[in-house]
Amino acid sequence: MNDRYFSRRTIRKYSEEPVSSGLLNRILEAGTRASTTGNMQVYSIIVSCSPEMKLKLAPAHFNQPMVTAAPVVLTFCADFNRFNKWCRQRGAEPGFDNFLSFMTAAIDALLVAQTVCNAAEEEGLGICYLGTTTYNADRIIDVLGLPAGVVPVTTVTLGWPAEVPDQVDRLPLYAVIHDESYENYAPETIDEIYREKEAREDSLKFVAENNKKTLAQVFTDVRYKKADNEFFTGKFLEVLRKQGFLNGL
């Protein structure tokens, strides 16, 4: 196995050097070899390279600097629009206007996204996922002109690395692997699994900077607050309804 899996990190700073269209196409072509439900390819990838489009997208990503600084911004969308059109043009009545079909297309989109990322990193490029796509999917739909049946599910910024950030931690493997069936976590196991993460200097700094008592509180009270989660859930459900994925609900 290639060692790059063990040394990888998210890259948020990019050099000025463009990514050639030849290389980008090859990476995208590799990405589309990812597994896809029923070989339907119910996804689309919007490639944004122009400064104008990146400027328009930036606010939807809360102006995270990677959006305008990266040479390439890829928006991965769950997309039944194309497939539905094909069905209708061939005398087949599609039944994909429901939540299950959204999940199918979202899974397809995420699989192609990760395969594109693997291919890009293999070529020495750096990538950063943007979770803001699902927060502000409504704005992204407007900017990119996404029709009904299409919902953006994630964004990846791509470019030549201009930084080598420290690698961040991971939980020990046994924390996430279950042997044959799920073994629920006793309180002592939770303590053990998170001990190293909590003791890290960067974690302690993070807790202090945010005036919190524990690292978990930084996640619940600062980074991913209940009220925000509920607000953005409402927005995203509205997007799913508008794009035609909640019929029958």
Ligand X SMILES: Cc1cc2nc3c(=O)[nH]c(=O)nc-3n(C[C@H](O)[C@H](O)[C@H](O)COP(=O)(O)O)c2cc1C
Q: Give me the residues that bind ligand X (CB under 6 A), please.
A: 9-10, 12, 64, 128-132, 154, 168
The residue among 84 and 118 lying less far from ligand X, judged by its C-beta, is 118
Smallest gap, in angstroms, from Cβ of residue 65 to ligand X? 9
19: alpha, beta or left? (left if phi > 0; alpha if psi -120 to 50) = beta
The residue among 101 and 132 lying less far from ligand X, judged by its C-beta, is 132
Smallest gap, in angstroms, from Cβ of residue 31 to ligand X? 16
Edge-first strand order for the sheet with 126-130 is 43-48, 72-79, 150-159, 126-130
The residue among 34 and 128 lying less far from ligand X, judged by its C-beta, is 128
The residue among 46 and 83 lying less far from ligand X, judged by its C-beta, is 46
Smallest gap, in angstroms, from Cβ of residue 154 to ligand X? 6
Q: Which residues contact 77 (CB under 8 A, 6 or more apart)?
A: 43, 44, 45, 46, 109, 146, 150, 151, 152, 153
Closest-approach residue to ligand X (CB): 131
Smallest gap, in angstroms, from Cβ of residue 60 to ligand X? 11
The residue among 126 and 244 lying less far from ligand X, judged by its C-beta, is 126
Cα(243)–Cα(129) distance, integer angstroms: 23
The residue among 36 and 133 lying less far from ligand X, judged by its C-beta, is 133
The residue among 21 and 167 lying less far from ligand X, judged by its C-beta, is 167
Smallest gap, in angstroms, from Cβ of residue 180 to ligand X? 28
Smallest gap, in angstroms, from Cβ of residue 146 to ligand X? 19
Smallest gap, in angstroms, from Cβ of residue 12 to ligand X? 6
